[in-house]
Amino acid sequence: MSLLRTAWLIARKDLVVEARSRELAYTTVFFALACVLVFSFAFVQEGKAIEGASSGILWVAVAFSGTLALSRAFERERQSETLRALLLAPSERAAVYLGKLIGLLALMIGVELVLVPIVGLLFDAPILRAPWLLAGLLAAGTLGFAGVGTLFAAMLVRAHSRDVLLPLLLYPITVPVLIAGVRGTAAIFATEPNLDAALAWLSILIFFDAVFVVLSLWVFDPVMSE
Amino acid sequence: MASGPACDFSTVEVVDVSRHFGRRRALAKTSLTFTAGSVAGLFGPNGAGKSTLLGVLSTLVRPTAGEVRYGGQTAAVLGDELRGRIGVLGHDLFLYGDLSARENLEFFARLYGLRNVPERVAQALTHARLEDRANDRVAAFSRGLRQRLALERALIHQPRLVLLDEPFTGLDDESAGLLTARLRGLREAGAIVLMATHDFESADGLVDRVICLKAGRVREIDAGRGSLREQYRRTMAEAWS
């Protein structure tokens, strides 16, 4: 079995389970929206948002809802120890990582499709000023965040304090993703936009993704062996 | 047993395998050999190291020392394909509650790269006697039904090495009888079956070998001499007193 075929089987299974239960979709969308709404009470006054706040709030909502999705996605594999069954499949174990990552990316991008228009609406952010660049920043940032998060969530699946440990491990490593995402998005949303700066931040995100996804694929098998 | 891929084997050797979890010793220099067409019973108190031994044989748990040879080769040499010749029924059942019985079997059949998936799945559902519940979600099944389904999930790719952890859990008398017949069928087909259990009544007359394990150490007793439970008790009292 090829790595990509196994990864696709696992991702498709996750999407079927999610489409049936909608547990992750509802909780992450609700959490992300609640987050944005609470910030809007603080940062929007008399219909005007504080300059630069919208990009930060967008990425905080992405990071928090992403963490929630990561821990819940692996909780499903823990309940009947199905992660072990996946590791017993006769293909490279990195396929398990890749499959879970694809499933999580689909979910997080779905959440962002709801989140971005809400941020645009509540904070009067110009989300259509450079839509492809914004989509690129979000896609690359989400890949970097979920790429590192999937590895840590899989490693912690049998740890007792996994819900506490996951953010403790994940946030320090993904600080570059959050900085690049916030600064790149802020460059697009600014009163005087700087699309060259946004492109530079996108390049940093792509570099981060390449390094950490390759590293995760490489170390997944050894770190998952008991 | 269907002819398997290139990495097929007819013996499994556990050579001086030790496994430590921190300071706790789960297996201590354990050596065993299993041959095709046999059912071995693994007995011992809770925490004796039975699940660890099954984990090591399944390639999920790495030994601290020693090695396991599948037809003379180690798992590192045989690579990922080896896992396609191993079937595992764990204490946890490795089933997705949100999927139906059919979907679970289809998923694992595809994961193992099997051809004729619909036929294999139909056959597995017949073996598990779940044809009429095939499209029901597994979360709605009783423990016994899930156990039957999990066994067929573990066997769907016709593995050479079958590792079963408490396979009789939750089964009624009729299902236990069917499981016994299924395991005999596997033995006749040339599989190597290793079963960890506390159910002496079900294992009596089924197992060819009786392996007792306590504190990571192994003692083998003669399977054909009297009541299994009595022999086990005696061995436990004498060998580890």
Please, what's the b/e burial string for B101-138 (b: 16 or more CB within 10 A of its CB; e: otherwise)? bbbbbbbbbbbbbbeebeebbeebbebbebeebbeebb
B93: tokens are: 């059942």
Q: At what angle do helices A94-123 and A195-224 cross, to 10 degrees?
A: 150
A6 touches chain B (CB under 8 A): yes
Residues with Cβ within 8 Å of B74's Cβ and at least 6 positions away in sequence, in order, are: B67, B68
Please tell me the distance from the alpha carbon of residue B213 to that of residue B30, in angstroms, as a whole number.
10
Q: What is the arithmetic mean of pLDDT over B71-77?
A: 89
pLDDT at B2 over 60: no
What span, in angstroms and rounded, lies between the C-alpha atoms of B155 and B159? Answer: 6
Contacts of B159 in chain A (CB under 8 A): none
Chain B hits for A81, Cβ within 8 Å = 90, 92-94
Residue A184 CA neighbour count, 13 Å, CB half: 28
Best interface-test mutation with B: which of A9, A80, A87, A157 has the largest number of B CBs within 10 A? Answer: A80
Q: Which pLDDT value is given to residue A224?
A: 85
Distances in Å between the Cα of A209 and the Cα atoms of A101, A104, A139, B3 are 12, 15, 10, 43
Residues of A in contact with B99 (CB under 8 A): 13, 16-17
Nearest to A20 among B55, B84, B98 (CB): B98
A194 and B CB contact within 8 Å: no
CB B2 within 8 A of CB B158: yes
Dist CA B201 CA B192 (whole Å): 21
Per DSSP, B10 falls in state S
Of B60, B82, B98, the CB nearest to A226: B60
Q: What is the pLDDT of residue B171?
A: 86
Backbone angles phi, psi at A75, to 5 degrees: -60, -35
Q: Is the CB of residue A62 less than 8 Å from the CB of residue A138? A: yes
Minimum-distance CB partner of A88 among B60, B92, B96: B60
Q: Rounded to 5 degrees, what angle do the CA atoms B89, B208, B240 make?
A: 85
Nearest to B83 among A79, A82, A88 (CB): A88
Number of H helices, E strands in chain A: 8, 2
Pick the CATH number of B8-237 from 3.40.640.10, 3.30.499.10, 3.40.50.300, 3.30.1330.10: 3.40.50.300
Domain boundaries, chain B: 8-237
Token duo for residue A196: 């060259």
Cα–Cα dist B68/B56, whole Å: 8
Hey, of A13, A79, A224, which one would you mutate to test binding to chain B, going by the most B CBs within 10 A of its CB?
A: A13
Contacts of A172 (CB under 8 A, 6+ apart): none
User: In which band, very low, low, confident or very high, does the pLDDT at B6 lie, cut at 50, 70 and 90?
Assistant: low
pLDDT recorded at residue B240: 64
B115 in contact with A, Cβ within 8 Å: no
pLDDT for the residue numbered B4: 47
Mean pLDDT (whole number) for A201-219: 96
Residue B221: pLDDT over 90 = no
Please say if the pLDDT value at position B225 is more than 90: no
Distance from CA of A32 to the nearest CA of B (A): 25
CA distance B108 to chain A (A): 8
Q: What is the percent of chain A with per-residue pLDDT over 90, rounded to a whole number?
A: 77
Phi, psi of B16 (to 5 degrees): 50, 45
Check if the beta carbon of residue B81 is closer than 8 Å to that of residue B132: no
pLDDT of residue A52: 83
Q: Does B181 touch chain A (CB under 8 A)?
A: no
Substitution target in A88, A92, A157 with the highest count of B β-carbons within 10 Å is A88
> Average pLDDT of A194-220?
96
Is residue A69 within 8 Å of A28, Cβ to Cβ? yes
**Nearest-by-CA chain A residue for B90:** A81
The helix-helix angle for B117-127 and B143-155 (nearest 10°) equals 140
Q: Tell me the per-residue pLDDT of A75-116, one tens digit each, with 9 for 90 and over.
A: 888 888 899 999 999 989 999 999 999 999 999 999 999 999
Query: A1-56, pLDDT tens digit by residue?
Result: 689 999 999 999 999 999 988 889 999 999 999 999 999 998 888 878 888 899 99
Q: B37 in helix, strand or coil?
A: coil
C-alpha to C-alpha distance for B125 and B105, rounded to whole angstroms? 8
Percent share of chain A, pLDDT over 70? 100
* pLDDT over 70 at B1, yes or no: no
Residue B118 at interface with chain A, using a CB cutoff of 8 Å: no
Q: Report the residue of chain A nearest B110, measured CA to CA.
A: A9
Query: Tokens representing A7?
Result: 């990864």
- What ipTM does the predicted assembly reach? 0.88
The band of B129, judged by pLDDT with boundaries at 50, 70 and 90, is very high
B165: pLDDT confidence band, cut at 50, 70 and 90?
very high
Angle at B17 between CA B11 and CA B23, to 5 degrees: 155
Measure CB to CB from residue A82 to each of B55, B58, B94 and give the nearest one: B94
Residue in B93, B98, B153 closest to A21 by CB: B98
Choosing among B8, B27, B56, B80, which should be mutated to test the A contact, i.e. which has the most A CBs within 10 A? Answer: B80
